[in-house]
Amino acid sequence: MSYVSSVFERIKARNANETEFLQAVEEVFKSLEPVLERHPEYVEANLLERIAEPERQIIFRVPWVDAQGILQVNRGFRIQYNGALGPYKGGLRFHPSVYIGIIKFLGFEQIFKNALTGLPIGSGKGGSDFDPKGKSDAEVMRFCQSFMTELYRHIGPDVDVPAGDIGVGGREIGFLYGQYRRIKGVFENGVLTGKGLSYGGSLARTEATGYGLIYFVDEMLKQNHQTIQGKTIIISGSGNVATYACEKATALGAKVVAMSDSDGYIYDEKGIDLALIKQLKGVERKRIQAYLNTHPDAQYIEGLGNIWSLKCDIALPCATQNDITLEHAKTLVDNGIIAVGEGANMPCTNEAVRYLLEKNIRLAPAKAANAGGVATSALEMIQNSMRYSWTFEEVDSKLKNIMITIHANAAAASKEYGFGYNLVAGANIVGFKKVADAMMAQGDY
């Protein structure tokens, strides 16, 4: 059995039932065989097994009182996965599906993503099985305060810097920071990113993941002498990433014809009315179906998977993991797709990834394509340290350069290690080598 296979077998045995985590590990390990052949020192240092094991996992009780006065209990998580490159950095996800396997897969992906940004950030991830849907602002505030009452002792601007992810946006980060400041008694705003502009947030952080995704996809298309202009695009999700992917794609001359939420999708052949999506999903927190109230010509179709049966040039899954299965990938290919850009984390199953690559579809992998969010979080940390803010244009231009550089580095590594133009392998290799070298240099055993 090869070194990679034997390590993977041990990881499987030790983390049975954590399916999403094992899926993420398997996908990364597949790219690393040629790297390990050229670098026997990584094998000697058992680097694969070390990198897959989190440095620290914190699981805690989050009690809070709901609007009816009933005491609710949720489970909180923070995984400090790898600190070789900098303070642990990564988002918090509030969603009822959250369990250790989800947080671990996200934290594992974050190691390589954060390394790809070229900025000094290690990897962390956290969250809770709390469901913000249907909760009042006051309930969300009480939950966030209780969550931070335990979390504060584990984080800090030079220790671990959480941010948003599914179910955690500007409102939640505000409540979390308020409680951190109250408990610590210091104005230490570099402890969280994705903050409001009034207390140290960075301009363009809200837009960064979606904009960065489009910069990356456009760069990928340029390798084939194409651009995003004039392309028909389908986006799953209608949250932070989906919204700003839609905004930038539209600004660059593409037409987004469908977006979704967890209940179903809207198809509007005239092009999605993004101002309305922002109002419905971002401000009013309604279901996407309400789009029909003002756009009766559009169609609403229940169920998430169906969105990939629509004909398009580019698919941008920006909702959640395992959104595009092998069956969906086959339908997309049959319908003439040219590219897939992963805005969400692990939105394609491993079988879908393999199939799309086999069919020569341009695939922008999540670790690279959605790294603009965390990269801009790192820019927010830099601004907080300087006690100074850059303009929107300054941050946006740094973001664009970062995305173009990630693309170039991933493409070069893929070629160097015999994968041709395969950004999935290239991104895994660049991220892995950077962290592996830092771990080797620091001993860490």
172 lies in the binding site for ligand NDP (CB under 6 A): no
Return the one option of ligand NDP, ligand 2IT, none that residue 128 interacts with (CB less than 5 to 8 A, by type). none
163 lies in the binding site for ligand 2IT (CB under 6 A): yes
Least Å distance, CB 322 to ligand NDP, is 9
Count of positions on this chain that bind ligand 2IT (CB under 6 A): 11
409 lies in the binding site for ligand NDP (CB under 6 A): no
Return the one option of ligand 2IT, ligand NDP, none that residue 193 interacts with (CB less than 5 to 8 A, by type). ligand 2IT
162 lies in the binding site for ligand NDP (CB under 6 A): no
Instruction: Please state, in angstroms and rounded to a whole number, the distance separating the CA atoms of residues 59 and 53.
Output: 16
**Per-residue H/E/C for the chain:** CCHHHHHHHHHHHHCCCCHHHHHHHHHHHHHHHHHHHHCHHHHHCCHHHHHHCCCEEEEEEEEEECCCCCEEEEEEEEEEEECCCCCEEEEEEECCCCCHHHHHHHHHHHHHHHHHCCCCCCEEEEEECCCCCCCCHHHHHHHHHHHHHHHHHHCECCCEEEECECCECHHHHHHHHHHHHHHHCCCCHHHCCCCCHHHCCCCCHHHHHHHHHHHHHHHHHHCCCCCCCCCEEEEECCCHHHHHHHHHHHHCCCEEEEEECCCEEEECCCCCCHHHHHHHHHHCCCCHHHHHHCCCCCEEEECCHHHHHCCCCEEEECCCCCCECHHHHHHHHHCCCCEEECCCCCCECHHHHHHHHHCCCEEECHHHHCHHHHHHHHHHHHHHHHCCCCCHHHHHHHHHHHHHHHHHHHHHHHHHCCCCCCHHHHHHHHHHHHHHHHHHHCCCC
Please choose, out of 11-19, 69-77, 226-234, 369-377, the segment that lies near ligand 2IT by the rule CB under 6 A: 369-377
Residue from 18, 165, 172, 342 binding ligand 2IT (CB under 6 A) = 165
Nearest residue to ligand 2IT, using CB?
Answer: 91
Please choose, out of 121-129, 267-275, 340-348, 425-433, the segment that lies near ligand NDP by the rule CB under 6 A: 340-348
431 lies in the binding site for ligand NDP (CB under 6 A): no
Burial status of residue 70 (CB atoms within 10 A of its CB: 0-12, 13-18, 19 or more): exposed
Residue from 345, 384, 409, 422 binding ligand 2IT (CB under 6 A) = 345
Q: Which entry of 125, 135, 231, 281 is annotated as an active-site residue?
A: 125
Residue from 257, 329, 344, 403 binding ligand NDP (CB under 6 A) = 344
Q: Which is nearer to ligand 2IT, 241 or 332 (CB)?
A: 241
Q: Annotated catalytic, 125?
A: yes
Least Å distance, CB 90 to ligand 2IT, is 5
Least Å distance, CB 168 to ligand 2IT, is 8
124 lies in the binding site for ligand NDP (CB under 6 A): no
Residue from 47, 78, 89, 259 binding ligand 2IT (CB under 6 A) = 89
Residue from 107, 164, 200, 426 binding ligand NDP (CB under 6 A) = 164
Residue from 80, 110, 179, 209 binding ligand NDP (CB under 6 A) = 209
Q: Which is nearer to ligand NDP, 56 or 133 (CB)?
A: 133
Sites for ligand NDP among residues 355-384 (CB under 6 A) = 370, 373
Catalytic residues: 125
Interface residue list for ligand NDP (CB under 6 A): 95, 97, 164-167, 169, 209, 237-242, 261-263, 304, 318-320, 343-345, 370, 373
